[in-house]
Structure 1
Amino acid sequence: MAKASTGASIARLGLVVSASAIALGAAAPAFAQATGDKDGSSVTTDEIIVTAQFYAQNLQDTPIAITAMTGDTLEQRSAASLSDATSSAPSVLLRPQSAAFGDSVSASIRGLGQSDFDPAMEPGVGIYIDDVYYPRLTGANLDLMDVDRVEVLRGPQGTLTGKNAEGGAIKFFSKMPTGENGGYLSATYGSRNRINLRGSADFKLTDDLSGRISGAYASQEGYVNVYDYGCAHPSSGVPSTGGGSKCLKYKEGDVGYQALRGMLRYNPDEKLDVLISGDYTHSSHHNSAQVLLYANNSNPNVATANGLPYDSRFICGPWCNYDTTGQNAASFVAGLIPALDGFPMAATSGSELSVLTSWGVSGKIGYDLSDAVKLTSITSYREFENSFSADGDLSPANVGFGNNNVTDWAFSQELRLGARLGDMINATLGGFYSDEKAVYYTLQDIRYVAAGPLPIFPLQFIGDDPIRTKSRAVYGNVEVTPADNLTINMGLRYTHDSKDYTFYRLSLDGVTPNPFLGALNGVAAAPFRGNRLDYRVALDYRFSPEVMAYASIATGYKAGGNGPRPFNAAQALAFGPEKVTNYEVGVKTDLFDRKLRLNLDVFYLDFKDAQLTLLSCPQYGGPGPCALPQNAGNAHSKGIEAEVFLSPVTGMQIDGSLSYQDWKWTCINPQVVRGAAGACSSDAAVLALIESRPPGMMKWKWSVGAQYQADLGSAGWLTPRIDVAYQGSMIGNVLTPAAGSPSALYGQLDGFTLANARLTWSNSAKDLDVALEVTNLFDKYYYTAKFDLTGAGAGSISGAPGRPREWAVSIKKKF
C-alpha cells in the first residue's frame, strides 16, 4: 500500500505543479525581467527545432515528451556516444551490454524496451539515423560524429515512427551539407593512452551540389586486467597458457574503432532536395569489461583440467578476471544417465576480440509538388557483422563458453506525402516497407546441464539460424487548428509484421545433427504473422506565448516471434506481441522572458502481454539452460517527468531533469512462472513469484548540470561546467530471487551517481577550443550490467563495471 500511495502522491504532485506552471506562465509577462548581454541582447533559452511530427517544429510547440540536445550541448557535456547523450534524459536507459551480448546495447524508455541482441527479438525503442530505422541493438551505441542534434521521444510512437517504438524513439541527426566550405578538426588525449581524432569538412562542388565528409578514430587501453590463472597461481596445478608481465594477458574495456561518413546534397531550386549518404564503421577491441561476482558449481564436468571445482577461488577482484577463450577436451562424467559416462567432449576455442563491421547507404529525396504539398522518399540499405566469444565463467574452469557471429542486412523504403492546407490543416500520408535477413551462428560448449547434483548430458553444438523479418505499414497523421491557440493531432498506422526462423543444431563437426538437440535440426519454427492498428490523439492549447499544455492518448506494440535459444525441444516456443496504451498530460513553458524553460508531463501506461526472458524454466523441458522469452502478464504503470533549463544571468546556464515511475503487475501467467496451467492470475502468491518491475526500468532518475561562460575580453572565453546524474537501481533476472540467495545478494543492479566536469577555453573568435574534461569525477565504482546464470544451473554471476575516473585534453579548430 505504501508504494502505491507514493506513486499516487507523485502523480498528484505532477498535476499540481503543472497547474501552477500554467498560472505562473499566464502572469509571467507582468514581472519578467530581461538580462542583457554586452551588445544589448537578452539571455534566453535556445530555440530547438525538431521533426517528431514529420515537419520542422519548435520543441516547445510539440505535444510530445521530447528531450532534444544539439551537438554543441552534447560536446559541453563530454558526451562521446549515444548512451552518453541519453544519460540526462528522463526515464531513458541506453547502456552498453555485457560481454555475452557483443557490441550491443540495452535500450528502454519508461521501462519498455529490450536488452537481447538476438535478431529473433525486436527492440522496444526505435532508433533512427537521419530518419532511417536502425533495426538492431548491435552497433547501436553510435559515435556522436558530426552530430547536429539528438531527439529522444518518450512514450509509444506507434503512429509517428511505427515499428517497435512502444517505449519511444531515439533519433540521431547528422549535420547536413550546406556548401559553406568549412569544417573542423579535433584531437583528444587522455587516460590510458586515450586518443580520439575527429574531423569534418563541408564543401561546395557546384552551385547546386555540396558535400560533407566526416571521420572519427578512437583508441584507448582497457581498465579490467585479464590474468592467466595458472601463471598467477602456480601452486594450483592449472596449466599456464602464457601470461605476459605479471601474468597479464590483456585488458578488457578497451576502445578501438574507425568511422567515416560522406554526404552529397543536390539542391538546384526550392522544390527539389536530394541527399545521398553513406557510412562505414569498424570496431575491434577486447570484450567489454567484466568481473566475476559469484561462483559455485560442484558438477565434476565443469572443473578445471586438473580437477579444481568451480568456486570463489576464481573471483579475482573489482578490476580483474581470469577470462579464457575456450575449454579443455574431457570425458563426460555421467550421473543421471550412466550410458553417457565417458562421452567425449572436444576442446573449444575462440578469439579474445570483439569485431564489428557496419556500413550503410541511404537516399532522401524531397520534392515540392506545389507550395502546399511535398513528397519525401527515404531509401536505405545497411549491413553489419559482429563476431565475439564469451567465457561465461571467467575462469579456467569448463562451465560455459561460446563463439558468436551475427550477420545482418536490412533494406527499407518509406514514402511520405505532406500537405499544408491553409492555416488550419497539416496532414501527412505515408507508407513504409522493410526487409531484413540475419544469420546467427553460434558454437556453444555448455557442460553444466544437471538435475540437482546429478549431471545429465554434455551440450556442445553449433547453431546456424537464419531469421527473415519483414514489415509493411501505411500511416496517416493530421493536425487541425480549429481555433486560435488550439491544435488537435490525430494519427493512425496499420502494420503487418512477419518473422521466419529456422533452427539448426549440429555437432561440432558442423555436419552431424547434435545427438541431444537433433530433433530441432532443420526445423522451421512456426512463423510469426501479426497485424496491428496503432493510434494517437493529442490536443494542445497555448494559454499564452509562454505556456502550452497538452493531453494525449497513444498506443504502440512490439512484434512477437519464436524463442531463439531452445536448449531442448520443449523450449521451442512462440511468444506473442506486447502492447501498450499511454495516457499523458503535460505542460511546456518558457518563463521570465524565456530565461526559464520548465517542461513537465505525467503519464499512465496500460501494458499487456509483457515479453520477459526466463533464465530459469524447469517447467519447459526439465532442468538445464534456459533463455526463453514468453508473454508473462499485464501491468499498469504511472510516472512523472520534468526538465528544466535556466539562464538567470548573462553567461550562466543551469539544466536538470527528473523522472519517477511506479510499476504494478495486474496479472501474471502462472505457466510462465511456476508451470501451472491457467489464465493470467492476479493471485498475490503468483504475483510475488515475479520481480515487481521489468528489466530496464528505474524508479528514479535525475540529472543536474551548470556552466558559466566568462568573458575574458580579447583573451577569449572560459567556460567551466559540471554535470551530476543519478540512475536508479534495476532488477537482475525476471523471477523474484529467494531472500539471501546469490541472485538477491549479487545479481541486482544498484543505483549510482556520477559526476563529470569540463573546463573549456575558446578564443575571442570562437573558432579554437581547448578543453580539459574529467568523467566519473569521484571515481565511483558501479555496474552497467549483470549476467546471472545461477538459475540456469551454471552457478555464476558476473558484472560489467563502468568506466573509472578518466581525464582528457581536447583541442578543436573550426575553419
Structure 2
Amino acid sequence: MGNILTRRRLCATAAMSAIATALVLPIAAQAQEQTQAPSQAPQEESGRTDGINEIVVTAQFRNQSVQEAPLAITAVDAALMEARSQTNVEQLAQRAPSVSFSAGGQGGGAQTAAVNIRGIGQNDFQFPNEPGVGVYIDDVYYGISFGTAFDLVDLERVEILRGPQGTLAGKNSIGGSIKLFSRLPDADPDAYIEASVGSFDRISLKAATNVTIVPDKLFVRLTGTARYVDGYLDRLDYGCVNGVDVPGGNFATGDDCVIGTEGGQNVIAGRAAVRWIINDRVENNFIADVTRDRSEASPGKAIYLPASDTGGISYVTGPKEYTNYANYSGYLGTDNQYTFPAISYLNSWGVSNKLDIELSDNLSITSVTAFRHADGQSAWDGDNSPVNLSNNFSTFTHDQFTQELRLLASFGDLLDLTVGGYYYNADSNLGGRVNVGAAALDFNSNDPFKQTSISVFAHGVVHVTDRFNLTGGLRYTDEDKTYTFSRTSPIPGVPTDVRVASLNGITKGFQGSRLDWRVAGDYEIADDIRIYGQVATGFKGGGVNPRPYLEMQAVPYDQETATSYELGIKTMLFDRRLRLNLAGYKTDYNNYQGLVSACPDISPPGFPFCSATRNVGDAEIKGFEVEFDARPVEGLSIDGSLSYTDFEFVRALFFDTDGNPLSIIPGVTQAPFVPKWKYALGAQYEVDAGNLGTITPRVDWVWQSEMQSNIPNSIPGYLLGEVESRGLLNARLTYRTVDKDWEFAVAATNLTNEFYYMNKYDRVSQSGNAYGMPGRPREIIFSLKRNF
C-alpha cells in the first residue's frame, strides 16, 4: 500500500512541476517587463473600500448590475470565493440560499452531483434523467450530471440564478442555473502561483498568467492546477480486524488491517484562453480546457445491513468512524468471484468559441459554439461490506455539440431586445456491470443514448421610465431522445438472466416540445431601492426509465413543468455599506420525476424489483430568501443568507414493497435533497499592520436542516434515508504584504470536526440495505501565493 501511495505522490508531484515550469516562464518574463511600472492595485481589489463593490452579471443576456436584474441571483466574485476557502461548486452551493448540492452517490462516482434549487433538481445521474439545474461554463451548457463537481479555478465570478430560467438559459433549467465565468486575458499580467499543503497529505499547485501576443490585439491566458489528497475513509478487512474468515476472502496485507481508502483525489487540469480583439467592433474568445481525474471511489458507510444476509454478523462500523468493510468484491458462487478497483476516474475536455460582432451602435450579434467530451469509470460497493448485496461498476462516455446565436438590438432608451436560437446534440453511452447479490442478479450493460434539442427565443426589456421597466420572454423548445438497452451475461457460457434478457436490443424514445414564457416588472422606488415581481415557467425534458429489470418496466416519463411567482426587493443602503435583498416565491410544480423502488403497475404480479423514474405527482413549493452584505466600518465585512423552502406534494401516488398504494401525508412526505431551512453567516476583518502588510481573519458558518434522500419517506420502512441537519464552521487567516505580491494563508474547513452525511440511500426494498456518504472531516490547509 505504501509503495502505491508513494508512486501516486511522485506522479502528482511530477505533474505539478510540469505545470509550474510551463507557467512560471511567461510569468517571470512579464514580471521582468513590469519592474519599471508602479504597482497600483485597483481600489476594489484592496479590500479597504468605503462601500460594497458592484458585481456585473449577464443573466438577461446583457451586462447589468446584479441589483438591477429583476430576479433572484447570488453572484460571487473570485476574491470572496478565495476568502471563504471555496474551491469547488459544492462548497459555493453550501452558502447560497435555497441551493442543495449533494456530490456522488448511487454509483455515479465522486464527480456526479444532485443539484436542487428551490426544491427542484435531479436525484439520479442516469443520462435520460436530465439535470433540473443547468450548469454552464462560459455560457456553455453541460448536459449531464457526471463531472459537475467542478473546481473553482481562476474564475471571474459565479452566478446562481434561482427559479425557472426557461426563457433565459439554454436548456433544462427548471429549478435554476449555476453559471461559471472564467477570467478573460488582457494586457495586465494578472499572474500568480499558489502552492498548498495540508491534511491527508494534501499537496496542490495552481498557477495562471496572461501573455500579450500582439499589443492591444491578441492575448492568451494560461491556467493550470494539480491536486493530490489521500482518502479520508479507511476500508478495513473484517477478517483481519476480528480474526475470522468471511465470505469474499481477506484482502489486508498489513497490521493496520487497512486495504484501501475512499475519498482520495488526484486531479490535473489546464485551460488556455485566447482573446482576439479584431477591431473596435469585433472580438473573438476561444477557450480550451482539459481535466484528468484519477480519484478514489466515493466514500460510503453502511447504516443498515439485514442479519438474514450477513449471517448475523454486524458489518456496520462505529456510528462516527470514517471506516467501512467494503472490499468491492462480488460473487455468484465460488467460481465467479471478482473484485472491482475502488476508483472514480474522469477524463474531460472541451473547446468553445464566442464571437461578438457589433454591427452598429444599436445592433450586435453573438455566437457561442462549443464541443465537450467526457468519459469515466467508477466502482460502487453498494453495501460497504464483504457481503455481496450490491456491487456495481459503471462506465460512461458523453459527447455534446452546442450552438447558440443571439441578435441584440437597442431601440434608443425605450427597448432592449434579444432574439436567438439554440441547438444541442449529444451522443452518450452508459455501461458497466451490475451485480445485485441480494437478488442473485448479475449482468453487463452497454446503453447508447442520443438526444437533440432545438429552441428559439426572444427576450425584451421596455424602459417605461428611468425607474420602471417591463420584461418579457418566450422560448420554444423541441426535443428528441432515443435510448437503447443492452443486457448480456458477464460470464462466458452463462446465459443472460431471464429477468433482464428481454431488454437486450430494444429501443425506446421520447419526443416533446414546450413553450416557456416570462413576464417581469421592476421599479426603483428610491435611489438604490428596487422592487420587482415576475412570473416565469420552465421545464425538464421527459425520457425513458433507464433502470428497468424487465421490458415492461422500460416505460417513458413525461416532462416536468413549473410556474413560479416571485416578488422581491433589492436594496443598497447607508451609502453603499449594506446590501440587503429579499425574495418570496410560490411554484406550481407538475409531473414530478421521482426515482421509486416499487412499481407494481408496470411489473408482473409478485415481481418485487423496481428502480424506476416515474411522474409520481404534483407539488406546491413556497419559500423566501434573504441575502445581505455589510461593510459597517473600514476593513470589516459581514455577509449572510437565509432561506426557507416548503415543498408539499398536492397529488402523488406511491406504492409500498408489497405493491399496496400509499397516499401522501401532506406536510410530511418530502422531496429528496430539499432541506427546509438553510442559513449562512461569514465575517472578516482586515487589520492594517503598517509596513508589515495586512492580516485578515475570517470565519464562516453554514447550517441546513434535515432532508430526505428518497421517496416515499413518511412511512415505517422508508426512514433510513433521512440526512440529519448539520452545521459546519470554516476559518481562514490571510497575511498579505504591503505590495500584495505575497500572500500566506492557513485555512480550516469543518473546524469542529463535525461528522455528517452528505447524503444517504435507503435501498431496503432493493438490496436490503441502507448506506450514507460521510462528508469530509476537519482539514487544515497552508497555502503560499505569489502575485505578479
TM score, norm. by length of structure 2: 0.91
Distance 1:672 1:378, change over 3 A: farther
Q: Structure 2: which amino acid aligns with 1:274? A: N
Structure 2 residue 446 is the aligned partner of structure 1 residue 464: yes
Whole-Å Cα distance in 1 between the matches of residues 135 and 722 of structure 2? Answer: 27
Whole-Å Cα distance in 2 between the matches of residues 786 and 671 of structure 1? Answer: 21
Whole-Å Cα distance in 2 between the matches of residues 513 and 464 of structure 1? Answer: 14
Structure 2 residue 259 is the aligned partner of structure 1 residue 249: yes
Whole-Å Cα distance in 2 between the matches of residues 659 and 366 of structure 1? Answer: 38
Whole-Å Cα distance in 1 between the matches of residues 667 and 331 of structure 2? Answer: 37
> Would you say the 8 A contact 1:221–1:255 is kept in 2?
yes
**Hey, what does 2:346 align to over in structure 1?**
356
Q: Structure 1: which amino acid aligns with 2:731? A: A
> Would you say the 8 A contact 1:462–1:510 is kept in 2?
no
Q: Which of the numbers 717, 723, 742 marks the counterpart of 2:700?
A: 723
- Shift of residue 200, structure 1, vs aligned partner: 0.2
- Shift of residue 99, structure 1, vs aligned partner: 6.3
Q: Which of the numbers 96, 103, 106 marks the counterpart of 1:96?
A: 103
Whole-Å Cα distance in 1 between the matches of residues 727 and 685 of structure 2? Answer: 23
- Shift of residue 65, structure 1, vs aligned partner: 0.2
> What does 1:259-274 align with in structure 2 at a 5 Å threshold?
259-274=269-284
**Hey, what does 1:9 align to over in structure 2?**
none
Q: Structure 2: which amino acid aligns with 1:320? A: T
> Would you say the 8 A contact 2:134–2:171 is kept in 1?
yes
- Shift of residue 245, structure 1, vs aligned partner: 3.6
Whole-Å Cα distance in 2 between the matches of residues 234 and 316 of structure 1? Answer: 18
Distance 1:675 1:427, change over 3 A: farther
**Hey, what does 2:286 align to over in structure 1?**
276
Whole-Å Cα distance in 2 between the matches of residues 698 and 656 of structure 1? Answer: 18
- Shift of residue 323, structure 1, vs aligned partner: 1.0
Structure 2 residue 130 is the aligned partner of structure 1 residue 128: no
**Hey, what does 1:735 align to over in structure 2?**
712
Q: Structure 1: which amino acid aligns with 2:277? A: N
Post-superposition Cα deviations, 1:106-154, rounded to whole Å, max 9, x if no partner, equal 1010010013111111100010000000111111111111011000000
**Hey, what does 1:12 align to over in structure 2?**
none
> Would you say the 8 A contact 1:507–1:515 is kept in 2?
no
Q: Structure 2: which amino acid aligns with 1:630? A: R
Whole-Å Cα distance in 1 between the matches of residues 573 and 386 of structure 2? Answer: 62
Whole-Å Cα distance in 1 between the matches of residues 758 and 475 of structure 2? Answer: 36
Q: Which stretch shifts more, 145-154 or 501-510?
A: 501-510
- Shift of residue 234, structure 1, vs aligned partner: 2.4
**Hey, what does 1:808 align to over in structure 2?**
781
**Hey, what does 1:66 align to over in structure 2?**
73
Whole-Å Cα distance in 2 between the matches of residues 48 and 629 of structure 1? Answer: 40
Structure 2 residue 648 is the aligned partner of structure 1 residue 664: yes
**Hey, what does 1:14 align to over in structure 2?**
none
Q: Structure 1: which amino acid aligns with 2:228? A: S
Structure 2 residue 617 is the aligned partner of structure 1 residue 633: yes
Report SS of the residue matched to 2:67. Answer: helix
Q: Which of the numbers 615, 633, 638 marks the counterpart of 1:649?
A: 633
Whole-Å Cα distance in 2 between the matches of residues 237 and 734 of structure 1? Answer: 34
Report SS of the residue matched to 2:146. Answer: coil
Whole-Å Cα distance in 2 between the matches of residues 671 and 696 of structure 1? Answer: 20
- Shift of residue 94, structure 1, vs aligned partner: 1.5
Whole-Å Cα distance in 1 between the matches of residues 124 and 384 of structure 2? Answer: 21
> What does 1:256-655 align with in structure 2 at a 5 Å threshold?
256-296=266-306, 298=308, 309=311, 311-315=313-317, 318-330=321-333, 346-449=336-439, 458-509=440-491, 513-525=496-508, 527-621=509-603, 622-655=606-639
Whole-Å Cα distance in 1 between the matches of residues 327 and 261 of structure 2? Answer: 12
Whole-Å Cα distance in 2 between the matches of residues 370 and 507 of structure 1? Answer: 63
Whole-Å Cα distance in 2 between the matches of residues 401 and 514 of structure 1? Answer: 17
> Would you say the 8 A contact 1:721–1:759 is kept in 2?
yes
Post-superposition Cα deviations, 1:237-292, rounded to whole Å, max 9, x if no partner, equal 55323333411111111111011000111102221110111100011122111111
Q: Which runs of 5+ in 2 are unaligned?
A: 1-42
Whole-Å Cα distance in 2 between the matches of residues 205 and 348 of structure 1? Answer: 55
> Would you say the 8 A contact 2:653–2:664 is kept in 1?
no
Post-superposition Cα deviations, 1:390-437, rounded to whole Å, max 9, x if no partner, equal 111111112111111011100000001111110111000010001001
Distance 1:717 1:70, change over 3 A: same
Structure 2 residue 204 is the aligned partner of structure 1 residue 190: no
Whole-Å Cα distance in 1 between the matches of residues 721 and 591 of structure 2? Answer: 25
**Hey, what does 1:13 align to over in structure 2?**
none
Q: Structure 1: which amino acid aligns with 2:403? A: Q
Q: Structure 2: which amino acid aligns with 1:388? A: S
Whole-Å Cα distance in 2 between the matches of residues 476 and 653 of structure 1? Answer: 40
**Hey, what does 2:241 align to over in structure 1?**
232
- Shift of residue 777, structure 1, vs aligned partner: 1.0
Q: Which stretch shifts more, 97-106 or 277-286?
A: 97-106
Whole-Å Cα distance in 1 between the matches of residues 246 and 101 of structure 2? Answer: 43
- Shift of residue 676, structure 1, vs aligned partner: 7.5
Report SS of the residue matched to 1:298. Answer: helix
**Hey, what does 1:694 align to over in structure 2?**
671
- Shift of residue 349, structure 1, vs aligned partner: 2.9
Report SS of the residue matched to 2:483. Answer: strand
Q: Structure 1: which amino acid aligns with 2:672? A: P
- Shift of residue 68, structure 1, vs aligned partner: 0.2
Higher relative contact order (CA 8 A, sep 6+): 1
Distance 1:803 1:671, change over 3 A: closer
**Hey, what does 1:43 align to over in structure 2?**
50
Whole-Å Cα distance in 2 between the matches of residues 690 and 581 of structure 1? Answer: 21
Distance 1:167 1:672, change over 3 A: farther
Report SS of the residue matched to 1:232. Answer: helix
**Hey, what does 1:24 align to over in structure 2?**
none
Equivalent pairs counted in the alignment come to 738
- Shift of residue 733, structure 1, vs aligned partner: 1.7
Whole-Å Cα distance in 1 between the matches of residues 404 and 102 of structure 2? Answer: 29
Whole-Å Cα distance in 2 between the matches of residues 85 and 668 of structure 1? Answer: 33
Distance 1:711 1:162, change over 3 A: same
> Would you say the 8 A contact 1:296–1:311 is kept in 2?
no
Post-superposition Cα deviations, 1:1-24, rounded to whole Å, max 9, x if no partner, equal xxxxxxxxxxxxxxxxxxxxxxxx
Whole-Å Cα distance in 2 between the matches of residues 125 and 572 of structure 1? Answer: 25
> Would you say the 8 A contact 1:631–1:669 is kept in 2?
no
**Hey, what does 1:339 align to over in structure 2?**
none
Distance 1:737 1:805, change over 3 A: same
**Hey, what does 1:154 align to over in structure 2?**
162
Q: Which of the numbers 51, 55, 78 marks the counterpart of 2:62?
A: 55
- Shift of residue 728, structure 1, vs aligned partner: 1.8
Q: Structure 1: which amino acid aligns with 2:368? A: I
Whole-Å Cα distance in 1 between the matches of residues 307 and 404 of structure 2? Answer: 52
Q: Percent identity?
A: 36
Distance 1:311 1:495, change over 3 A: farther
Distance 1:597 1:510, change over 3 A: farther
> Would you say the 8 A contact 2:124–2:595 is kept in 1?
no
Whole-Å Cα distance in 2 between the matches of residues 485 and 99 of structure 1? Answer: 50
Report SS of the residue matched to 2:565. Answer: strand
Q: Which runs of 5+ in 1 are unaligned?
A: 1-35, 304-308, 332-344, 450-457, 678-684
- Shift of residue 732, structure 1, vs aligned partner: 2.9
Whole-Å Cα distance in 2 between the matches of residues 58 and 87 of structure 1? Answer: 24
Q: Which of the numbers 728, 747, 750 marks the counterpart of 1:776?
A: 750
> Would you say the 8 A contact 1:630–1:672 is kept in 2?
no
Whole-Å Cα distance in 2 between the matches of residues 790 and 195 of structure 1? Answer: 40
Whole-Å Cα distance in 2 between the matches of residues 635 and 440 of structure 1? Answer: 31
Report SS of the residue matched to 2:128. Answer: coil
